[in-house]
Amino acid sequence: KAGVTQTPRYLIKTRGQQVTLSCSPISGHRSVSWYQQTPGQGLQFLFEYFSETQRNKGNFPGRFSGRQFSNSRSEMNVSTLELGDSALYLCASSSYGTGGYEQYFGPGTRLTVT
């Protein structure tokens, strides 16, 4: 079974731009969560989607948004990028909602904002 894939793996953007990151969950998983990992704040929950609906959201500004498609693939978008948005963005999928809690993480997208 293929794991969670994230694209792109690395991205460099400038302040004020926007960015879209993509996540393909493990086949059959309908829950997709996004996390931000930085040296200063550690791993922080952004949001979770299940069957195209956002069910939970962390404490991030409205510049961070996401969506999920009918095939469970998910995207997250960050608008008006700030230097502090430089981070590793991780996506995790699980069968939560259809039986399982265990989350499987992708390798992440390393975003650098200059």
Interacting residue ranges for another protein, rule: CB under 8 A: 4, 31, 33, 35, 39-45, 48, 50, 55-56, 58, 84, 90, 92, 94, 96, 101-108
Q: How far is the CB of 68 from another protein (least distance, A)?
A: 13
Q: How far is the CB of 41 from another protein (least distance, A)?
A: 8
Cα distance between residue 28 and residue 97, in whole Å: 11
User: Residue 56 in contact with residue 37, Cβ under 8 Å?
Assistant: no
DSSP state of 25: P
Select 16 or 84, whichever has its Cβ closest to another protein.
84
